[in-house]
Amino acid sequence: MNTTMPPVQPGRRAAPPRSLLMFGAVLAAAGLAAFLAGLFSPHPQRAWQAFLVNFLLWSAMAQGAVLFAALTHTVKARWTGPLSGLAEAFAGFFPLSFVCFLVLLLGKDHLFPWLHEDLHGKEIWLNIPFLFTRDGIGFLILYGLGWAYLSQDLKLKLGASGPGGGLRRLLAGRIPQSDAEIQRVQSRKSLWGGLYCFAYALVLSLIGFDLVMSMDPHWVSTLFGAYQFVKAFYVGLGALIILAAIIHLRRGSSAGIAAAHFHDVGKLFFAFCLLWADFFYVQLTVIWYGNIPEETSYVILRTLTPPWNALTWVVFIVCFVIPFVVLINRRVKTMPSAMIALCGMVILGIWLEHLLLLGPALNHAAAELPLGVTDGLVFIGFLGLMVLALACTLKTFPELLPPGSEETR
């Protein structure tokens, strides 16, 4: 059997229009301006809170989307079709995510309340140099594996057309020509994909412990790491569905994304909606039964104390109840417009969920939710960064797009 990849025909994959790059740049600039204005306001801690919440959300989104591609390849799923390439495009956000992680170091005095607390021996683990070193190494490993997986896939997708120049040649390197070379690339792709899946679970657990759970350093949950990487896959699937739906609505049937693709990924999204809710509930139940003051105080503050108790219900309804009721219907999963609205709502819900987890520790005795215009604009700014990352990645590597209409300029 000849497994040589056919050449990619030029002009057969529609690259993102330049207006999309401009749109992303405008959103990113608006978010940056709001963040800088917040830093010079009387309450700079609010700006840093918004930055951390959005860093965690949008990084998790990219990490979870790339996991979809790596995981479905590892388990040899055949139903993904053009969705795998679109999922791999989210790796373009990885460099921006790492830069944003380094920026967090500048706001350490506003972000880590345990810097001014007696940690009762936990100083060995909770200290700024060690925290940023281990988390930075974790991000470098995870993102490096993600790009290594992408490079092997690009070798196969570029085929006989050649890598081109610049970043394309750097990533793809020498294009395999013989069947034996293609098999070796396939094996390396499987290896990097499996390693990415493994690193994903470890690194996201570490980030959950260090950048979320440590904000209340005397609270412990052994399930919290798993909760973090399940949540990241949940929002990653949502972002992938939105991207696929936008391409489908823009290019119609020529996009190559069929109703069956939306239905299958919609079912997976529904499954992780249930799994997220299960983890959300199980953590609360175990802590409630254990009735240990160090653990229950964390839950009581967020579920029974104003203003956080109302936010808890909003998060639960938006991220579970509404998606559960809507996605029971088979037809909804195949409707791109409806799925854009639903997945966008879930992403907003997870954004609020990050605020629920971090807000009480960063806003002691708050009488109202620490949510304002700055938070919304920083969210829009990170949306702009994601748009820029996806647009640049898909413009550089149009092979990640499904074959379709003539290239749009």
Q: Could you write out the DSSP letters of every residue in 274-339?
A: HHHHHHHHHHHHHHHHH--HHHHHHHHHHHTSTTHHHHHHHHHIIIIIHHHHHHTSTGGGG-HHHH
What gap in Å lies between CA 87 and CA 69, rounded to an integer? 6
High-pLDDT (> 90) share of the chain, %? 62
What gap in Å lies between CA 61 and CA 244, rounded to an integer? 15
pLDDT value of position 163: 56
pLDDT value of position 118: 82
Type and span of the H or E element at 103: helix 94-104
Average pLDDT (57-76) is: 96
Q: What spatial distance separates the first Cα and last Cα of the chain, rounded to whole Å?
A: 38
pLDDT value of position 290: 80
Average pLDDT (171-198) is: 82
CA angle 52, 40, 22 (to 5 degrees): 65
Task: Specify burial of residue 328 (Cβ count, 10 A radius: 0-12, 13-18, 19+).
Answer: exposed
Q: Band the pLDDT of 4: cuts 50, 70, 90.
A: very low
Alpha helices in 40-93 (DSSP H): 44-74, 83-88
pLDDT value of position 407: 39
Q: Is the Cβ–Cβ distance between 222 and 164 less than 8 Å? A: no
How do the domains of the chain map onto residue ranges? 18-394
Measured from the Cβ of residue 63, the count of other Cβ atoms closer than 10 Å reads 29
Nearest to 85 by CA among 24, 154, 178: 154
DSSP-assigned letter for residue 366: -
262-284 pLDDT per residue, tens: 999 999 999 999 999 998 888 88
Would you say residue 2 has pLDDT above 90?
A: no
**255 vs 141, more confident:** 141
Contacts of range 313-316, beta carbons closer than 8 Å, 24 or more positions apart:
314/349, 314/352, 315/349, 315/350, 315/352, 315/353, 315/356, 316/277, 316/280
Residue corresponding to tokens 């490079």: 151
Residues constituting the chain: 409
What gap in Å lies between CA 102 and CA 98, rounded to an integer? 6
Tokens of 265: 């990924």
What gap in Å lies between CA 314 and CA 316, rounded to an integer? 6
DSSP-assigned letter for residue 117: S
What gap in Å lies between CA 345 and CA 342, rounded to an integer? 5
Tokens of 382: 């990170």
